[in-house]
Chain A
Amino acid sequence: MAAEIKAPAYRVFPIAPAVQPGAMAETKSFVASDKIQEALGFPGQLVEDWHDRAIAKMGDLLEKYRSFKVFMDACVHCGACSDKCHYFIGSGDPKNMPVARQDLMRSVYRRHFTLPGKYFPKLVGARDLTREVLDEWYSYFYQCSECRRCSVFCPYGIDTAEITMAAREILDSVGYGQKYSNEIIGKVHKIGNNLGLPGPALADTLEGLEEDVKDACGVDVRFPLDVKGAEVLLVTPSADFFAEPHIDSLIGYGKVFHAAGISWTVSSMASEAGNFGMFIGNYEQLRKIALRVREAALELGVKRIVVGECGHAWRVAYSFWNTLTGIGAGADDPYAIQLQSQLDHSYKQPMHICELTWDLIERKVITLDPEANDKYVVTFHDSCNVARGSNMGDFFGGQFEIPRNIIKAAANHFVEMADGTTREQTFCCGGGGGLLTDDLLDLRIKGSLPRMEALQQVVDEHKVNFMACICAICKAQFTKVLPYYGFDRRVVGGVHQLVSNAIRLGDK
């Protein structure tokens, strides 16, 4: 790898780059050690009969997931998705084109599961699963952030993220896991959150936070932990507890609850909204991690479950929690009813912190003074999992409008980035989907190119100096890559950071 990692130059014309085969072939995130693998019940090392087990696993997934099966068959190689991936735009490596990424898997699918691939492999681009192909899978399926941008543009909605998840699941099952994601999942099970912050440390942190806020604004804003009978259980990414700029949003949530007089608590058992089970496509892990929230909710007896600023966590919460754990409504089975009868259904379950805040603003329960943010010209980066994998409010496109509404209530100067880079067409920050690790820094910088170009444009034209977002991974990724593109790292921040600055804290 190059000694010094540099950002690619902005494109003169915003069109697809020429293909440069092999440009990212050497990029490969660290492989998980046996200890990390075994903690999750995966084989510690590449098993001897990996070929047969991989094919068998593939067959198993084809039976379990209609998405996988239909997406393997339906692609017509039209190329509509080929220029839509930020990793292709940033690197030019054709295997980072969504269709080519799928073809890494599809070629093996055709060989083993279709007649033409069995008898005429060359004709239909079918390949045997060799060790080289397996390594290629590892390399390129960990160069996909599962952002679903490609699925917006495909005429059949083929979502490369689904293929990536299947590939990672197969790789894990033969003992070829990724260090970053699997280590984090291990920490969630062992300690309770992705960052490995144990209960007592969390209690200290929250106490310290209360003092800091008291010093800063003279009000006793509480940050409660494990309070039984609280109305709201807040489940938020653990980065919110101490990373910059995440913590400023946590302060924002605390102030909102304070100003509205809503009792709330964090849980030490479920001190993590993130769910990397989704990233590795493993249903059991996805479910097991989600179940912590169910248990915490039952134990604390809360009436509402609210999720903090985190993109993939919100996708899991909004789209999957009802399925996985019964957090939601409309169930008719005893398992889910146990929890659903405890929850207050005059509110959506689960609810995004932005839904909660916007509702309070609309009902004039809380008041914001946008002048407090007059030093900022704000733009909004739609996070991919929120934009393309979830919703907010009860209306079409609520996930776009509600955060923007809050920003406009909290700040006077708001501008949009260019069309085609926002809302459902938003570009990934470049660090999502289990790629937020320093061994993939080069890829992360390249993948952020389209977003950085769009940001540069509004910086030049409108003097934007604050890019708000609602995702812990986006915040961490931008904090890291902004300097490579010549920006101040503090340009990125949370929506509730703006709320925190602007909210009026009465004596409620």
Chain B
Amino acid sequence: MIMTIASIMFAGLFYLAAVLFAGGLAYRIRDYARTPAPLKIPTTPAPLTKGGVALRMAREVVFFESLFKSNLWTWGFGWLFHAGLALVLMRHLRYFIDPVWSWVAFIQPFGKYAGLVMLVGLCGLWARRFLVDRVRYISTPSDHLMLALLITIAASGLLMTFVSHTDVIGAKNFFRGLMHFGPQPLPGDVVLMLHLLMVAVLMIIFPVSKLLHAPGVFFSPSRNQADDSRDKRHLSAWAAQLEAKK
């Protein structure tokens, strides 16, 4: 088969995006991990044990517990969006692995509708940025663009799923080819190309944008510390140096 110019450009783009995404994210995570937290600052009441902290974190990541206490609209739309996103991403695994794992095959039918759920959530979140004066006040152009980007990805994906079917096998071959460093042609479908272009943009901006909330939540000292300051001495390296100086 012939490699079109578009195929070559997309291949290059995705290699670049993958490197920036993985490299950037690894750099940020290392940076968070090595930056000390000199004082015990869990937001109390906090779990007294490490196990309790793991549970608290799980509740934050899976259910958005704090957001639930805070604002039901934001929680509802936000949770729909993220839950939908999670399912969609799991469903997408089929483009990258062969043979497809059985649980990925199992979720295919639900995954389809998860895309719709995701879109509803995104639209709700965007509406808040216009309708609630406080949220309007804090929104920057990048906040709007981020939502526009995700909506474009979701809408183009849904278009392929429900309206103008694309060559899914071809798409899969293209990415399997990339993974094995033997490029394959990309189906010449405009909607698919739009979808992929936007996905590449998302990957590239991930490590330099507010999308860092995803790794960030795990490093938040107010959520990931146990309440045991009286029982264990907690001393960061630079704070210990002050003691040595004395």
A residues in contact (CB < 8 Å) with B: 16, 18-19, 21, 62-67, 69-71, 73-84, 94, 97, 99-100, 103, 114-116, 122-125, 148, 151-159, 162, 283-284, 287, 318-320, 322-323, 326, 328-333, 335-336, 348-350, 387-391, 394-397, 399-400, 424-425
Contacts and interface: CB of A to CB of B under 8 A. Distances in A.
Interface stretch (B66-74, B83-91, B96-104): B66-74
A318 B74 contact: no
Interface string B111-153: 0000000000000010010001111011111110100000000
A123 B139 CA distance: 11
B240 to A, nearest CB: 8
A69 B38 contact: no
A94 B209 CA distance: 23
Interface stretch (B44-52, B182-190, B195-203): B44-52
B216 interface: yes
Contacts of B40: 319-320, 323
Contact of A125 (B28, B140, B235): B140
Nearest to A122: B141
Given A157-B66, A323-B40, A70 B219 contact: yes
A323 B74 contact: no
Given A67-B222, A69-B35, A348-B230, A115 B208 contact: yes
Given A123-B140, A159-B43, 7 more contacts: A157-B223, A287-B242, A319-B229, A330-B233, A335-B243, A336-B233, A394-B48
Contacts of A425: 69
A442 to B, nearest CB: 22
Contact of B235 (A79, A323, A329): A323
Contacts of B208: 114-116
A389 B69 CA distance: 19
Interface in B196-231: 205, 208-210, 212-213, 216-217, 219-223, 227, 229-231
Given A74-B210, A155-B66, A123 B141 contact: yes
A217 B74 CA distance: 58
Contact of B44 (A67, A336, A389): A389
A82 B138 contact: yes
Contact of B35 (A65, A125, A395): A65
Interface of B: 28, 31-32, 35-41, 43-48, 60, 64, 66-67, 69-71, 74, 78, 125, 128, 132-135, 137-143, 145, 205, 208-210, 212-213, 216-217, 219-223, 227, 229-235, 238-240, 242-243
Given A74-B212, A123-B140, A155-B67, A331 B37 contact: no
A79 B233 contact: no
Given A74-B220, A79-B71, A155-B66, A333 B233 contact: yes
Given A19-B133, A65-B37, A323-B234, A391 B216 contact: no
Nearest to B235: A323
Contact of A156 (B38, B47, B216, B235): B216
Contacts, number: 225
A97 B66 contact: no
A78 B142 contact: no
A168 to B, nearest CB: 15
B135 A328 contact: no
A78 B74 contact: yes
Contacts of A75: 210, 213
17 contacts: A66-B36, A67-B41, A70-B216, A70-B219, A79-B138, A84-B70, A100-B137, A155-B67, A157-B223, A319-B229, A322-B233, A330-B231, A348-B230, A389-B41, A391-B227, A424-B43, A425-B69
B66 A153 contact: yes
B233 A399 contact: no
Chain B facing A: main interface SS: helix
Contacts of B39: 319-320, 323
B140 A349 contact: no
Nearest to A334: B243
A74 B229 contact: no
B19 to A, nearest CB: 15
A11 B223 CA distance: 33
A396 B48 contact: yes
Contacts of A157: 43, 60, 66, 217, 220-223
B217 A156 contact: yes
B222 A74 contact: no
Given A74-B213, A155-B217, A80 B70 contact: yes
A234 B64 CA distance: 42
B43 A388 contact: yes
Nearest to B246: A335
A322 B67 contact: no
A77 B138 contact: yes
B233 A151 contact: no
Given A67-B37, A84-B70, A388-B43, A94 B137 contact: yes
B66 A322 contact: no
Nearest first, the 4 closest Cβ-Cβ pairs linking A and B are A74-B216, A157-B222, A125-B140, A153-B70
Contacts of B36: 64-66
Contacts of B233: 322-323, 326, 328-333, 336
Nearest to A337: B233
Contact of B134 (A69, A94, A320, A331): A94
A148 B142 CA distance: 27
B45 A82 contact: no
A78 B71 CA distance: 10
Contact of A76 (B134, B210, B223, B234): B210
B41 A79 contact: no
Contacts of B234: 322-323
Given A65-B37, A74-B220, A157-B66, A80 B43 contact: no
A159 B229 contact: no
A320 B236 CA distance: 12
A418 to B, nearest CB: 15
A332 B235 CA distance: 11
B134 A83 contact: yes
A15 B40 CA distance: 33
